[in-house]
């Protein structure tokens, strides 16, 4: 027994070493056999350690193009390839079938997986960052607040009011930023829908300023929380915004009255913690603001270069106004009017296809998967890239051309048109965004003619920006003798 104990004492380190060596060999053998499986072409070791080829992938380029990196890889490898992006081995897909497969299997084979640094700014309960049951809970609250029934009964008239208020007094013949105008409209709409805030409240201006700095940091390509950086400022702004929302929430509780806005809905959620409620409120402001304001700027940009589309839009919207006048209806826009904006929907689709507000989304493989003969290892980042499909000549003839008429033929674009993503994470504000853009187009084309004051183009960073903030000049559009009659509720607006 004594000999055994002494022997064991001497041999045990050897046994431990043997165990580790065999474990490592087994791991390497497994990895080798996985590598022998058919991984997509490309290299998951390329580029810098950890960073890989991220900077090449996100290198700024016009949002109406796919950028040099993507172009080069598609030519070299085809629609599904491998790289090293956002700190992990990644598979990039410009293949509509694969994208559908990934998005439809959300929560089963794949899940959303945004860079962790976004959590510092958006919050750990942000909708983009949570998965599983918590995502389902938050999503159902968000979807309920923006469903078509609510848009029809509550939101549409509010949108109409805010768009008209902003478009009422644009400076005539002197340049101003159309991007700024679009941001003001969408911010006012979201602040009203989320917090019932009036655009003329002093708090509204303060919140907008905080929010702009917050967005600047979130979109920054250097996401490190250090004092003096735009990212560090954004983290600070997040705290200020949350403090403000908490104050509003507590005021509501004291008053004890129910408010018909998103904050009102969130306050009633007894199954969420205070932190979760605040992150959800911020998620809605974030998701509904940046995307829609970019889309509105893109509408102004593309239409300016396409007078034929503007005159067809005018015909459509004058037709709606005349029909309402003829029937003796109130001039305020209604859901039925929105449903008649057929060519407007073509313009919106074409704007989203060519402008690519969200060009790709982040996912992660939850297990080893084989798809179309390719092996996708568990843990790999998956990036379904929508812009590479929207701009592919195999799916859209002359894809670089702004051609809204193509949508009169395309009835069901399916997986070849995913500006709002798809599957269980389909954009929760899809209807709201389309109605907001339609109402904007309605008032813009009826009220003004416009031109670019200086050349500018949309650049993907990947968040879209116009370098010069899209400077435009407008002139009133006098075509109907009673052209301004349709802007009825503007007359009763507060100054």
CB of 82 to ligand HEM, least distance (A): 21
Among candidates 59, 39, 111, which has minimal Cα distance to 363? 111
Among the listed residues 162, 425, 443, 447, the single contact to ligand HEM using CB under 6 A: 425
Which secondary structure element, helix H or strand E, spans residue 228, and what is its range?
A: none
CB of 228 to ligand HEM, least distance (A): 30
Q: Answer yes or no: are the C-beta atoms of 398 and 64 closer than 8 Å.
A: no
421 binds ligand HEM, rule: CB under 6 A = yes
Beta-carbon contacts of residue 186 (< 8 Å; ≥ 6 apart): 288, 289, 292, 293, 296, 436
Q: How many residues in total does the chain contain? A: 495
146 binds ligand HEM, rule: CB under 6 A = yes
Token pair for 16: 């431990």
83 binds ligand HEM, rule: CB under 6 A = no
How many residues sit close enough to ligand HEM to count as binding (CB under 6 A)? 25
CB of 459 to ligand HEM, least distance (A): 17
Beta-carbon contacts of residue 404 (< 8 Å; ≥ 6 apart): 306, 309, 343, 346, 347, 349, 350
295 binds ligand HEM, rule: CB under 6 A = yes
Gap between the Cα atoms of 82 and 69, Å rounded: 12
432-462 b/e (C-beta count within 10 Å ≥ 16 → b): bbbbbbbbbbbbbbbbbbbebbeebebbbeb
CB of 22 to ligand HEM, least distance (A): 41
Residue 492, SS3 per DSSP: coil
473 binds ligand HEM, rule: CB under 6 A = no
Gap between the Cα atoms of 133 and 112, Å rounded: 13
CB closest to ligand HEM, residue no: 429
CB of 494 to ligand HEM, least distance (A): 25
Nearer to ligand HEM, 61 or 425 (CB): 425
Among candidates 36, 70, 49, 114, which has minimal Cα distance to 391? 70
- Please choose, out of 153-161, 413-421, 441-449, 466-474, the segment that lies near ligand HEM by the rule CB under 6 A: 413-421
CB of 229 to ligand HEM, least distance (A): 25
429 binds ligand HEM, rule: CB under 6 A = yes
Nearer to ligand HEM, 90 or 284 (CB): 284
Nearer to ligand HEM, 94 or 453 (CB): 94
- Please choose, out of 11-19, 271-279, 427-435, 440-448, the segment that lies near ligand HEM by the rule CB under 6 A: 427-435
Q: Answer yes or no: are the C-beta atoms of 81 and 336 closer than 8 Å.
A: no
| Distance set, CA 453 to CA 127, 185, 234, 450 (Å) | 38, 21, 31, 9
Site string for ligand HEM, 336-365 (x = CB under 6 A): ---------------------xx--x----
- Please choose, out of 50-58, 117-125, 308-316, 420-428, the segment that lies near ligand HEM by the rule CB under 6 A: 420-428
Q: Answer yes or no: are the C-beta atoms of 163 and 186 closer than 8 Å.
A: no
91 binds ligand HEM, rule: CB under 6 A = no
Query: 306 labelled as ligand-binding?
Result: no
CA 356 to chain centre: 10
CB of 15 to ligand HEM, least distance (A): 48
Q: How many CB atoms lie within 10 A of CB 194?
A: 23
428 binds ligand HEM, rule: CB under 6 A = yes
Nearer to ligand HEM, 74 or 432 (CB): 432
139 binds ligand HEM, rule: CB under 6 A = yes
| Distance set, CA 264 to CA 253, 260, 329 (Å) | 10, 6, 32
Among the listed residues 85, 92, 109, 142, the single contact to ligand HEM using CB under 6 A: 142
Could you give phi then psi for residue 176, rounded to 5 degrees? -150, 170
Could you give phi then psi for residue 385, rounded to 5 degrees? -105, 110
CB of 288 to ligand HEM, least distance (A): 3
CB of 24 to ligand HEM, least distance (A): 37
Residues at the site binding ligand HEM, with contacts judged by CB under 6 A: 112, 127-128, 139, 142, 146, 283-284, 287-288, 291-292, 295, 357-358, 361, 419-421, 425, 427-429, 432-433
Residues annotated in the binding site for heme, as ranges?
A: 427
Residues annotated in the binding site, as ranges?
A: 427
């Amino acid at each position: 027994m004594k000999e055994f104990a002494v022997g064991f004492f001497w041999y045990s380190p050897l046994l431990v070493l043997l165990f580790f060596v065999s474990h490592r060999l087994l791991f390497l053998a497994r990895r080798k056999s996985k590598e022998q499986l058919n991984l997509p072409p490309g290299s998951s070791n390329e580029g810098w350690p950890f960073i890989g080829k991220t900077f090449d992938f996100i290198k700024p380029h016009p949002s109406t193009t796919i950028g040099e990196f993507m172009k080069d890889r598609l030519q070299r490898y085809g629609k599904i390839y491998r790289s090293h992006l956002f700190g992990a081995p990644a598979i990039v897909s410009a293949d509509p079938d694969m994208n559908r497969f990934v998005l439809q299997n959300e929560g089963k084979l794949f899940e959303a997986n945004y860079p962790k640094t976004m959590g510092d700014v958006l919050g750990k309960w942000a909708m983009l960052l949570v998965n599983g049951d918590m995502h389902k809970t938050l999503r159902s609250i968000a979807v309920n607040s923006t469903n078509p029934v609510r848009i029809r009964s509550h939101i549409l008239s509010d949108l109409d009011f805010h768009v008209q208020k902003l478009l009422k007094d644009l400076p005539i013949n002197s340049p101003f930023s159309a991007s700024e105008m679009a941001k003001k409209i969408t911010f006012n709409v979201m602040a009203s829908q989320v917090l019932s805030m009036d655009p003329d409240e002093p708090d509204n201006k303060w919140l907008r300023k905080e929010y702009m700095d917050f967005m600047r940091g979130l979109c920054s390509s250097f996401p490190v929380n250090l004092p003096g950086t735009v990212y560090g400022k954004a983290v600070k702004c997040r705290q200020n915004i949350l403090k403000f929302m908490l104050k509003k929430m507590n005021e509501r509780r004291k008053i004890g009255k129910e408010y018909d806005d998103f904050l009102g809905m969130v306050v009633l959620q007894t199954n969420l913690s205070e932190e979760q409620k605040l992150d959800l409120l911020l998620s809605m402001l974030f998701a509904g603001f940046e995307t829609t304001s970019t889309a509105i700027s893109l509408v102004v940009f593309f239409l300016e270069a396409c007078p034929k589309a503007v005159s067809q839009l005018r015909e459509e919207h004058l037709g709606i106004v005349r029909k309402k006048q003829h029937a003796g209806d109130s001039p305020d826009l209604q859901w039925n009017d929105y449903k008649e904006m057929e060519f407007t929907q073509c313009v919106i689709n074409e704007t989203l296809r060519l402008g690519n507000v969200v060009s790709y989304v982040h996912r992660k493989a939850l297990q080893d998967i084989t798809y179309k003969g390719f092996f996708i290892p568990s843990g790999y980042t998956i990036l379904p890239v929508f812009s590479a499909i929207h701009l592919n000549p195999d799916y859209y003839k002359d894809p670089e051309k702004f051609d809204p008429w193509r949508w009169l033929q395309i009835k069901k674009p399916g997986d070849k048109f995913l500006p709002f993503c798809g599957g269980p994470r389909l954009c929760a504000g899809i209807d709201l965004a389309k109605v907001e853009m339609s109402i904007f187009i309605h008032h813009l084309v009826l009220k003004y003619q416009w031109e670019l004051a200086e050349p500018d183009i949309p650049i993907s960073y990947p968040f879209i920006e116009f370098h010069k903030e899209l400077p435009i000049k407008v002139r009133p559009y006098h075509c109907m003798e009673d052209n301004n009659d349709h802007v009825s509720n503007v007359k009763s607006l507060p100054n």
